[in-house]
Amino acid sequence: MVNLKVNLSGLELSNPIIPASGCFGFGKEFIQYYDINILGSFCTKGTTKEARFGNDTPRIAESSCGMLNSVGLQNPGILHVVRQVLKEISSYYSKPVIANISGFSIEEYEYCAKSLRGIDNIGLIEVNISCPNVHEGGMSFGTNADMAAKVTKAVVKVADKPVYIKLSPNVTDIVSIAKACEEAGAAGICAINTLLGMRIDIKNRKPVLANITGGLSGPAVFPVALRMVYQIYKAVKIPIIGIGGISSTDDVIEMMMAGATAVQIGSMNLIDPCICKTIIEDLPERLNRLKVKDINEIIGGAH
């Protein structure tokens, strides 16, 4: 029997497979396909202080090896999530979830983190720092090490759960940002968020997305995500959740060998709603063939 259990800052997962924020909603849509309690955990849809309708449509554009999204953080707001959604989740998912929060100022991040205090079915808080800082001219919090550290420090100060910072790949040096977050008190790192991209409608001679640009996800970004996780693992001592283009059992193993303790699977859930179930079922046999008895043996194994 292969041991698939992993530990994220004291939160024990039965396996390292976690659907990513934005591609799994709040889990309810997937219970018609399989028992989602087999998941290690799942990451909730990104939540902000106020309810958001999101960006204008079109919001989605296809790519040959992935997809672009410009949804714009559509969500019902943190108080609705606390008062209703998280309680509803506990009726169909028995394990702690990872709560993803976003903000457009330090104060908004603090507000969201404070609002999540004392909620039993939250195991970790994932902080999306790819949002523009409205007080600093619109620059993304995640593109500057100092700003990333400030967000991290502020959330850690008010949160009652381990804080994981989700890093943007749209930077020249993701390692320095990861280190700044670790020094500011982050319990872990999530890497990576989507890569900035666009598509053009050649008949109408204009961008496909109403927002012009969007976040590229899917198999196309996997080698980039893998490289960044590998680099971050060499530089920090805190756990990493690897994200970006994972679409198979072997991708999971590669990402863990690069340094991830667990992984998140995103846009593949939209193509195959049972992808996480398939990978969880395939992992033991694949690890057996690699003569691995404990999945923790492979974490960072490529270094």
DSSP secondary structure code for residue 45 in this structure: P
Closest CA to 100 of 120, 72, 81: 81
pLDDT digits (tens, 9 = 90+) for 277-295: 999 999 999 999 999 999 9
pLDDT of residue 137: 64
- Give CA–CA dist 295/210, Å, rounded: 43
How many C-beta atoms lie closer than 10 Å to residue 142's C-beta?
Answer: 28
pLDDT of residue 247: 97
Tokens of 56: 């204008």
pLDDT of residue 140: 85
pLDDT of residue 144: 94
Give me the helix-helix angle, 145-158 and 106-115, nearest 10°: 30
- 85 phi and psi, to 5 degrees? -65, -50
Domains plus CATH for the chain? 6-298 (3.20.20.70)
- 191 phi and psi, to 5 degrees? -150, 125
Instruction: Give the 3-state secondary structure of residue 135.
Output: helix
Taking only Cα atoms into account, the Rg of the chain, rounded to an integer number of angstroms, comes to 18
The rounded Cα 279 to chain-centroid distance in angstroms is 18
Tokens of 79: 């108080």
Does the global pTM surpass 0.95? yes
Q: Do 65 and 223 contact (CB within 8 A), yes or no? A: no
Instruction: Give the 3-state secondary structure of residue 166.
Output: strand
Q: Do 188 and 239 contact (CB within 8 A), yes or no? A: yes
* Interior angle at CA 37, CA 97 and CA 293, nearest 5: 95
What's the N-to-C CA distance of the chain in angstroms? Answer: 26
pLDDT of residue 242: 98
Q: How high is the mean pLDDT in each 10-residue block of the chain (303 residues)?
A: 97 98 96 98 97 95 94 96 98 98 96 98 97 69 95 98 97 97 98 96 97 95 98 98 98 98 98 98 98 98 98
Alpha helices in the chain (DSSP H): 78-80, 86-92, 106-115, 145-158, 174-183, 222-235, 249-258, 268-271, 275-289
pLDDT of residue 131: 78
pLDDT of residue 210: 96
pLDDT digits (tens, 9 = 90+) for 98-107: 999 999 999 9
Tokens of 279: 């990978």
How many C-beta atoms lie closer than 10 Å to residue 157's C-beta?
Answer: 13
- Give CA–CA dist 94/40, Å, rounded: 11
Instruction: Exactly one of 23, 43, 112, 131 is catalytic; name it.
Output: 131
pLDDT of residue 133: 67
Catalytic status, residue 181: no
The rounded Cα 69 to chain-centroid distance in angstroms is 15
Closest CA to 98 of 41, 151, 49: 41
